[in-house]
Amino acid sequence: MKSILFNAFALGSLALGATQIQTYAQDQKPAADSADKPKWDRSAFLGATITQGNSDSVLVTANVLATRKGGPNEYSLGIDAAYGELDSEKNVELLHGFAQYNRLFSDRFYGYARLDGLHDAIADVEYRFTLGPGVGYYLIKTKDDVKKTASLLSVEGGPAFITEKVGRDENSYLAVRVAERFEHKFSDTAKVWEMVEFLPQVDDFDNYIINGEIGAEANLTEKVLLRVVASDTYDNQPAPGRKKNDVKLVSSIGYKF
């Protein structure tokens, strides 16, 4: 429990700190017309599944996301958690958070800095923090203001420093991060996306992690959202006694604020 609280505090501090840095940077600039200022797109999601009978199970998931795009600056913050039990035995205990800042050098080319944190008790990952800068490019960046549609396809790459405790082993090493993300908005009320991230250790390519995600989101009302996400984490060198692949499918109800 102490480790869960520690990781939750660390990830929460990460999101709060990134927001404060962004706010401080804004305060150093001359005031502009509020109508021209980019706004945060924030949402919180909650999902729960409970069964009783031949088997008793409970699964609770929570997720908070915040993005802001405008001018040369792009911010993305997120934290998600999941806890589950099957017949009174814990089978899910996950906490993950990330923060990414993009600085656009042109309409499509940008530099980024990203920090990820993970705690997964079932995979025996006490903690895993990944930090690194890099560069990215929007291969597709289209927007139709009349139809309210938009498409984005970006690729990113750069070095990444990983420090982790997996099983009883604590390791720190340099990796390469290669990632891509696609998002398409059908309208202001519906979108789909997918992403893949590859993280091989620089001096041991047999030690690598692949993260993937695909999802869809739609408005039920102006503020209430329905979200379905399938994610996959492949760790080629997992903790002893653990499987390499972890697949999750989560559906949840969200609220924009």
Query: Residue 38: its pLDDT value, please?
Result: 84
Q: Using alpha carbons, select from 214, 206, 199 the residue that is nearest to residue 129.
A: 199
* Residue 136 near residue 154 (C-beta atoms within 8 A): yes
User: Is the pLDDT score of 3 beyond 60?
Assistant: no
| pLDDT band at residue 27 under the 50/70/90 scheme | very low
CA–CA distance, 133 with 101 (Å, rounded to integer): 10
Locate the domains of the chain by residue range.
2-27+40-256
pLDDT bracket for residue 35 (50, 70, 90): low
Question: DSSP for 105-152?
Answer: SSSSEEEEEEEEEEEETTTTEEEEEEEEEEEEEEEEEEEETTTTEEEE
What is the CATH number that goes with domain 2-27+40-256? 2.40.160.40
- Residue-wise pLDDT tens digits, 160-191: 999 999 999 999 999 999 999 999 999 999 99
pLDDT tens digits for range 200-251: 999 999 999 999 999 999 999 999 999 999 999 999 999 999 999 999 999 9
Residue 16 has pLDDT above 60, yes or no: no
